[in-house]
Structure 1
Amino acid sequence: MLKIGLGAPQYGRFANRSALTTCAVAAEDIGYDSLWVGDRVLLPENPRDAYPGGGPVPQAYRRFLDPIATLSALAHATRRVRLGTSTLNAPFYSPVLLARSLAGVDVLSEGRLDVGLGLGWSSDEYQAIGVPWEGRGARLEEMLDVLEKAWADGPLSHEGALWSIGRSFMDAVPVQRPRPPLLLGGFSPATFERIARRADGWVGVGLPVPMLSQVVTMMRQGAESHDRDPRALRIVVRVNPQVTPDAAPEDQVPARGTVEQVAGYLLAAHEAGADEVLVDLQDTARDTTEFLDLAHRFHETLREG
């Protein structure tokens, strides 16, 4: 059965307590299966890197709530929906502190956390944070090692190229054992290989359906080559549409289109292998009322489909 996720209010005009809690509670009542947060640190006035998917970086990103703080608020406001990150830019963080923070969210949500990690796209953010842009893939690889060790039973120790951790204890581990589901984002061959080898799934975006089908097949075949169950890989597809009252040209869907057009794409993505679809309405909705109206319409259309 298709799982349906919603981007949690977190940025732009929705970056406030009232919008977050009102929409989170309503989304759970509507029947959404999950709520997801993103990770943006700052918006450069003159970005050095192109925004993924083309076009300018949304100006709403200038006001962006911290993802861990937002997850903690969601854990308090909801009781049933799963809470995910799509995605945390993993190299921005210390792996030990990230392990502690994410374990805390899993404890506070009573085991509802899905951890989506990526590499980000903005070298400006890396520079501002003080983390090297080069070698970010290897940095993520070692971070995964540390996270798994920190969340395991017993003492933590690690010796790697970037981090050295003497024998220590971190007993505030996640509720979910052996760890929360670990999903990775990205489109490079290295990302797909890493997912096939050691992750629980992929957090992707709205690729053309034939390409999406090829990517899913490639990852599942890769998992099988590593003696893992290919059917266990979880595929989540995210769209950030500009929802329009009138139909958009088909070549603009799902980036732009009516509720029916975007939902039609998401149903096709499900047929192509997506287990869960995620729609972020913050680029379209002008206020909480419109946000929830669109959320109702998307959920109803997807369920009927």
Structure 2
Amino acid sequence: MRIGLAVPQYGRFAALSSVLRVAREAEPMGLHSLWASDRLLTPLAPKDPYPGGDGHMPEAYRVYLDPFAVLSVAASVTSTVRLGTSVLNACWYPPVVLARSLTTIDRLSGGRLDAGLGLGWSSDEYAAVGVPWRDRGKRYDATLDALEAIWGADPVSFEHELWTITPSNIQPKPARRPPLYLGGFTEAALRRVGRRGDGWLAAPVPLPVLTSMWQVVRRAAEEAGRDPGGLRMIVRANPMITEHGTPPGSGSVADYCAYLADAAEAGAQEFILDFQQTATDDQHLLDLAAAFTSDLSTRLK
């Protein structure tokens, strides 16, 4: 079992000092990975409800650092932890720009990139970047196609109604083709993971739901002639630590770790722990990471 940590990026943790301290201390703690996510704005009257809790976006999301910049800083003070995106909203970026940004992090970190991509949920954010909300699934698939071409051998060429890459050398290349982990919870999204992803970026939902969704991914992989055993399930959890609560929403460290251990039995192979909505400062965040790592290590021996 691998345990990762969301690198400081938003809310009270949107500060260089937090990124540097937490990234530096992650490796000695035995954490496997650091992850950054993607958020642009907080609409005052959102068109779409936030997909969690009561539908309201967490207050901490009002301040959000750029994921590429945060991971570049983390890369500069670490040497072994993987550096991942969970998730980038792939459709916001032209593929050649997205590939360059991801490849830069991979090269600066010595080949430690894990690329996690998703569709996003906010039509307001799509409007802000000038990308149509309609047919976003088709745009997403085309983005994945373009990334595969760009990360392949030169010369690269790509023809699509959205973008044209004339035969070109596109350098540098990643140290190796980064793993592509895909998010999403609809039938179409889960089947896409099975068809073409290296794994699924999941969320802490009730275990029967998690198991059912994972089965959709695995069946889609089999139907595409792929080995479902080669796919990874990575669960990003945002635990709210309280004395009394019911995971996966909230609970004590012990209660939440018990839920995660059950998720591991259901197929999860890695956890991304995001404490930025419950920790009060850097030390508290690191203490929670240590407590979860210790508890999970004992449960998952």
How far, CA to CA, are the matches of 1:149 and 1:42 in structure 2? 31
Indicate the residue corresponding to 1:247 in structure 2: 244
- Counterpart check, 1:266 vs 2:263: no
Question: Deviations 1:157-208 (Å, cap 9, x if unpaired)?
Answer: 11112111111111201001xx100010011111112111111011010111
Cα deviation, 1:195-232, whole Å, max 9, x if unaligned, reads: 11111011010111111112112211211111111100
The one of 272, 293, 304 aligned to 2:298: 304
**2:117·2:181 contact (CA, 8 Å) conserved in 1?**
yes
Contact 1:254 1:261 in 2 (8 A): no
Conserved 8 A contact 2:193-2:199? yes
- Gaps of at least 5 residues in structure 2 are none
Amino acid at match of 1:78: T
**Partner residue, 1:209:** 207
- Per the TM alignment, residue 34 of structure 1 is displaced from its structure 2 partner at its CA by 0.7
Aligned residue number for residue 72 of structure 1: 72
2:285 aligned residue: 291
For 1:61 and 1:242, the matched residues in 2 are separated by 15
- How far apart are 1:254 and its partner, in Å? 1.4
CA RMSD of aligned residues (A): 0.9
What residue is the counterpart of 1:45 in the other structure?
44
CA distance in 1, matches of 2:109, 2:128: 32
TM-score, scaled relative to structure 1: 0.96
Give the partner amino acid of 1:247: H
For the residues of structure 1 that align with 2:283 and 2:236, how far apart are their CA atoms? 22
Q: Is the 8 A contact 2:191 2:216 kept in 1?
A: no
Partner amino acid, structure 1, of 2:161: A
Q: Where does the alignment leave 5 or more consecutive residues of structure 1 unmatched?
A: none
Q: Which runs of 4+ in 1 moved over 4 A?
A: none
| DSSP-derived class of the 1:30 partner | coil
The structural deviation recorded for 1:247 is 2.4
Check if 1:124 corresponds to 2:124.
yes
Q: 2:226 aligns with which of 212, 225, 228?
A: 228
- What is the TM-score normalised by the length of structure 2? 0.97
CA distance in 2, matches of 1:300, 1:247: 21
Alignment of 1:53-202 (within 5 A): 53-55=52-54, 56-176=56-176, 179-202=177-200
Give CA-to-partner distance per residue, 1:261-305, whole Å, 9 cap, x none: 111111111000011111100000111111111111111111111
Q: Secondary structure at the match of 2:28?
A: helix
Deviations 1:32-79 (A, max 9, x none): 111110100111112111111232211111111100111111111111
Q: Structure 2: how far apart are the matches of 1:200 and 1:218?
A: 15
d(CA) in 1 for partners of 2:249 and 2:27? 25
Is contact 1:237–1:278 with CA below 8 Å preserved after alignment?
yes
| 1:281 is the counterpart of 2:275 | yes
1:3 corresponding residue in structure 2: 2
Question: What is the alpha-carbon distance in structure 1 between the residues aligned to residue 28 and residue 46 of structure 2?
Answer: 39
8 A contact 1:241–1:256 mirrored in 2: yes
SS of corresponding position for 2:142: helix
Does the aligned pair in 1 maintain the 2:7–2:34 contact within 8 Å? yes
- Tell me the CA shift for residue 242 of structure 1: 1.0
Q: Is the 8 A contact 1:247 1:261 kept in 2?
A: no
Using the alignment, how far apart are the partners of 1:239 and 1:227 within structure 2?
31
Q: Kindly, what percent of the aligned residue pairs are identical?
A: 50
Number of aligned positions between the proteins: 298
Alpha-carbon contact 2:187-2:216 (below 8 Å) kept: no
Aligned residue in 2 for 1:13: 12
CA apart distance, 1:233: 0.5
Question: What letter is aligned with 1:193?
Answer: R
